[in-house]
């Protein structure tokens, strides 16, 4: 209340924006899901594989934390990836409890093919925007990426 009208208006704007952002994210992913399905792998596996490919090998726990899921969930996701030959478990030499996960060559290949398909699909629809509009979108994405980076796992 002490902040006056400008602050109140800002809060309202942020709320509206939050709602629209949530809705847009839901509907966008629904569209793209169908393209990703062509890889034969579900979204959780593709996302985990993507982390392994772009951030390099890491332990089970770190992968779970990065993907914001509980350890048992990541255990299953990795089991699925391993069974399809897309990732490998390697026991850590220093600590026998730790398990390093890494993408196989086949995993890298599948990810890149799926990525290409998805990008072409999404891009074909974003293509209706002008250069200037794409720039605005890129700017907004940069901001959003910053918000997500600073967003602590606990809340």
Angle at 101 between CA 98 and CA 105, to 5 degrees: 155
Distance separating alpha carbons of residues 36 and 29, to the nearest angstrom: 10
Do residues 48 and 67 touch, judged by C-beta distance below 8 A? Answer: yes
Nearer to a copy of itself, 28 or 90 (CB): 28
Q: Given the rule CB under 8 A, which of 57-65, 72-80, 93-101, 114-122 is the region that contacts a copy of itself?
A: 114-122
Q: Which does 98 bind (CB under 5 to 8 A by kind): DNA, a copy of itself, none?
A: DNA
Q: Does 79 bind a copy of itself (CB under 8 A)?
A: no
Q: Which does 109 bind (CB under 5 to 8 A by kind): a copy of itself, DNA, none?
A: none
Strands in 87-91's sheet, in edge-to-edge order, are 58-59, 99-103, 87-91
Q: Does 94 bind a copy of itself (CB under 8 A)?
A: no
Do residues 107 and 52 touch, judged by C-beta distance below 8 A? Answer: yes
Q: What three-state secondary structure class fits 70?
A: coil
Binding footprint of a copy of itself on the chain (CB under 8 A): 10-11, 13-15, 17-32, 34, 43, 47, 50, 67-68, 115, 118-123, 125-129, 131, 133-134, 136-141, 143-145, 147-148, 150-151, 155
């Amino acid at each position: 209340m002490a902040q006056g009208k400008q602050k109140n208006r800002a809060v309202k704007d942020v709320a509206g924006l939050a709602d629209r952002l949530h809705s847009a994210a839901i509907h966008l992913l629904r569209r793209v899901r169908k393209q990703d399905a062509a890889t034969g792998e579900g979204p959780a596996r593709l996302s985990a594989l993507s982390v392994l490919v772009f951030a390099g090998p890491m332990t089970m726990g770190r992968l779970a934390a990065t993907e914001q899921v509980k350890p048992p969930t990541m255990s299953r996701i990795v089991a699925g990836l391993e069974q399809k030959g897309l990732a490998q478990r390697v026991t850590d030499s220093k600590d026998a409890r730790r398990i390093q996960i890494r993408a196989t060559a086949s995993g890298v290949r599948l990810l890149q093919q799926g990525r290409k398909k998805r990008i072409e699909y999404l891009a074909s629809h974003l293509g209706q925007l002008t250069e200037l509009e794409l720039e605005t979108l890129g700017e907004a994405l940069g901001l959003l990426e910053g918000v997500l980076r600073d967003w602590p796992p606990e809340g």
